[in-house]
Structures are given as structure tokens and as C-alpha cells.
Structure 1
Amino acid sequence: MTSTRDIEDRLDESRELALAALHEVTPASSIGEFAGHEASDDGVTLLRFETTLLGYPGWFWTVALASVPGSAPTVLELELLPGDGALLAPDWVPWSQRLEEFKAQQALAAQEAAEGDDADDDEDDDLEGDDDADEAGEYLHAGDVDGVDIDEFDDEADDEEE
């Protein structure tokens, strides 16, 4: 009969082996807390660890280990699998509410940019060569795409210039 202590020792060894395998394919910072295990009668044990990867809430690093009597456990495979509810879409939010949130974020970003520009203007007063920034505006305008002046291909723009 197998004691509880033997099972815990084997689980600790398996956890260390699973973590070593995960560290070979992903940074340690992407591996969260141990989230449990599942043993089957055929000697395969699945060990799950939470993931800290952005964009994968509710997903788990899953490592399958094979245990054969008389030999050390072996890693069969490891993968990132979704947990319960990980693949469910978030609650629907009406367009008007999303638009208001978007506008608020844009206003905050504009305010932060303006505050940053004020600080940059103070620093720019001490620098020489500020005229370069003005000259760059002559070359880069809304008609430029990847450094190509698309106005040169527009016959109407030529007529307006003349």
C-alpha cells in the first residue's frame, strides 16, 4: 500500500520535472502558481500551472508526465490549454458606452501628451537646431506614404500648384 507521504514526494518530484520542462520552452516569468494535477490509471499525470502571459487569462500550462513502475517519470508533452470560461467572450457592451470610454481614453492621452509637450518645450529651449523639426514638416505631410510623396502622382495637385 502506498502512503500519502510517498504520493506527495512523487508529486513534488513530478512538479520539479514539469517546471524544468516548461523552463526549456517559456520564460519562468510566464509560469504562475501550481494549479493542480490529474492522474489516470494508465500512468499519465497532467500537472497544471497558471500562466501569466498577457492575453491568456484563465489558461494553464499543462505538462503530461508518464510514470512507469521501476523507472523515473518522463515528460510526454507540454502545452498551453484553456481553463473553464477562458474561451468565453466578455459581456456585451453597447456601442454608445464603448464610444464614451474611447473618447475618455483619447482625452486622457491628449492631456498626457500636452503635459509631456510642455516639459519637452522647456528642454528644447536649451537645444540648438530646432529649425530641423520645422524643416521635417515640409517634407513629411499627409500626402507622404513611407517617404513617397503621393502628390507627385496626382495631376489635380499639379494644377493647383500652378
Structure 2
Amino acid sequence: MTSTPEPSADGSSAEADDRLIGAHDLALAALQEITPASTIGPAAGYVAEEDGSVSLRFENRLPGYPGWYWTVTVARVDDAEPTVLEVELLPNEGALLAPEWVPWAERLAEYRAHQAELAEQAAAAEAGDADAEGDDATEGDDLDELDEDEDSDEPDILHAGDLDGVDIDELDESGVDEDAESEEVDDSESEDDSDADDADIDDEEE
């Protein structure tokens, strides 16, 4: 079965064999040997190769490969029937591609460098926290000094606990001694007064 020739997918001006361009049935049969028919979309043009072969393209419906195309390269020798050279899934411009492969040694070196950087950042953060805690402790000491200064301005108040170590009996005896001295003074003053009164009586009788 020969299909109507389609424009070249890459816009090349290379001449292509019409029999190769129309070999869609052959290309689809080759594709179905490697992938389910549900993953194959309609024809999406062709690419005329420099060696005279033609790469027929079909839209891809395989999940995870946006912008990719099923590609079947066909060729023919002399007057022979077209034959399949290669079947593959190839990306179009702007297709989602895997990142460029990097050797394991380079990836390991990058990983170690990143880990060392994280360790330095963690150490710097811990040092900053320690400095902040030191500042907070200094501020707390200043506040304690201020509280002590304020307390020193307050008048001394005698509390019950302040009497610990004081001999209450000595305080009582000292009080008794003072009372006895005051009584002796009063008695002496009374005797002096009585003597004076007796002298006055004697003078009057004379």
C-alpha cells in the first residue's frame, strides 16, 4: 500500500524515494513488534537521510515522553522492496530530555562538597546561637544587679527569723536591772523628801 507523500519533517531538500515515503504499513508493522499499537499515533512526516534512506515519523502516545516521536528508518536497494533498517524513539526539538550523564566520581565529589558546606553552615548557626545565649545571660546578670541595688535602698525590717541567735533571757535581765535601778532612785528620792519634812516639823515646834 502506497500513501500520499508527506512533506519532510526537517524541511530538507534531499530527494526521497516515493516508495520509501509511502512505506507506512511496513513501518507500523515494525513498530508494533516493539511497542503496543495504543502508543503509536498518526504519521508525522519524514526525514530524508543523506544516504538515500527515509526516516518515517509517528506521534508518540507513550506516557512520560512528551515531544518524542517513533521513528522507523526504511531503505531499498536497487529495485528491491523497501526494508526496515532501524526502529527507535527519538526526541523532537523542545522534548523533555534526561539530564546530561555525569560520571560517578564527579557526582560523589559534588555531593561531598555540598555536605561540607552544610556542615559549615550548621556550625556557624550553632556559634550564633551560643553568642545569643551569652548575651541573654549577661543581660540577666545586669538585671540581678539592678534588683540588688533597689533592695539596698529599702529600710531594714525586723522579721521573726532575724531573732535567731539572740538570747531572750539576757534581754529580759537587762530590762529587770534597769527597772531595779529606777526603783532605787525613787526610794532615795523618797527618803530625802521624808528627811526634809521631818526637819521642817522640828523647826516649827521650836
So what's the TM-score if we normalise by structure 1?
0.47
Q: Which has the higher helix share?
A: 2
Please identify the structure whose Cα radius of gyration is greater.
Answer: 2
Q: Which has the higher strand share?
A: 1
So what's the TM-score if we normalise by structure 2?
0.37
